[in-house]
Amino acid sequence: MTTSVNGGAPPGPEAEPFPLDELVRGMRMATGGEDVVTGATPRDVVWTLNKTTLYRYRPVAERRHGVPVLFVYALINKPYILDLRPGNSFIHHLLEEGYDVFLLDWGTPGWEDRETSLDELVAEHLPKAVARMRRAGAGEEYSLFGYCMGATFAAMHAALRPEGLRNLVTLTGPIDFEHSGVYRLWTDPAYMDPWALARGFGNVPADVIDMGNKMLKPVTNFVGSQMVMWERLAAGRDMTSWLAMNKWVNDGVPFPGVAFAQWIESFYQRNELVKGRIRIGGRRVDLGRIDASLLNIAGAKDHIVPPAMARPLNDLVASADNEYREIPGGHVGLLAGSGARRALWPTVVDWLDTRSD
């Protein structure tokens, strides 16, 4: 056997060089230069108010359920995570299952929206969207599906205006902010004055919010996602799913200044929701007034809204039909990851099917 100069075994064959065209493509992806179709399910505008828009999705199958579903998402990202791409769209899946589907999109605030408050959004825009949904022929009863911060908004709406709400589905919804983990430290009044941030920024920039979220798992978010991209590219795998998710993650929107300050102070710093002290539109929010059927879902690996933060909702409502499910997955992967179609989607559909006729 031939040996090397130092007496060891000879080096193995040289690794195949990374193809130049794939290297160029990877650099383009890493810098956001390659786009992919997202939010493609056809829909129509039902109503608008300032930047808020109510959409109704066009049916793709015969409607088999009389109770429509209204989606409410957070203020800090765009809601097309619910309709990420063809083949991975929870909204399209519900349409295939025969549901009438609506989405409330808060839009992208401009400088003129810096004083928009949670009172305006939750106590005015959301109830008006429900009224417009009814005027569009959706019927008097409806199901409300809130995701992330949208689940908190949905729960507050259910407490303030329970009439006509048959089903409430909350997905990774922050309720008890005592269990908010690292966020509780970062938002401690000793370190953060949310009103000073609101005055300084007007609208809190999307990049500021995004950096905070990513710093919860810096290695995963700043290194891991890029490693996954290069590994998939080198293996010749389809990049559509990575591109769609990466696009959404980096497609944040500013947080209206006053709403941001309210969210941090009243929820993270004072935990007023579970204490029954939060007031929206001049009315106290009593979660004990919620009597709709409730399905509350948390992600077992969610580091943004840990299960302990979401779980208390079930103990605070008056709903006789009251379920809590904890499903393997993280905050986003739970809804749009590779296992969502096998875990979350059938869980929600099976639950709604027996309560939507």
> Which residues have a catalytic role annotated?
148, 302, 331
Please choose, from the candidates 101, 74, 147, 91, the residue with its C-alpha nearest in 3D space to the C-alpha of residue 299: 147
Cα dihedral across residues 194, 199, 200, 204: positive or negative: positive
Residues 6 or more apart in contact with residue 224 via CB below 8 angstroms: none
Phi–psi pair at 75, nearest 5 degrees: -95, -10
Whole-number Å distance between alpha carbons of 76 and 306: 18
Residue 42: CB atoms within 10 Å = 10
Q: How many C-beta atoms surround the C-beta of residue 207 within 10 A?
A: 11
Residue that the structure tokens 């794939």 belong to: 22
How far is it, in rounded angstroms, from Cα 132 to Cα 290?
A: 22
What is the rounded distance in angstroms from the CA atom of residue 151 to the CA atom of residue 72? 7
Q: CB-based contacts of 99: which residues, under 8 Å, 6+ apart? A: 63, 64, 65, 68, 69, 352, 356
Percent helix / strand / coil, the chain, rounded to 5: 40, 15, 45
Helix (H) / strand (E) element for 326: namely strand 322-327
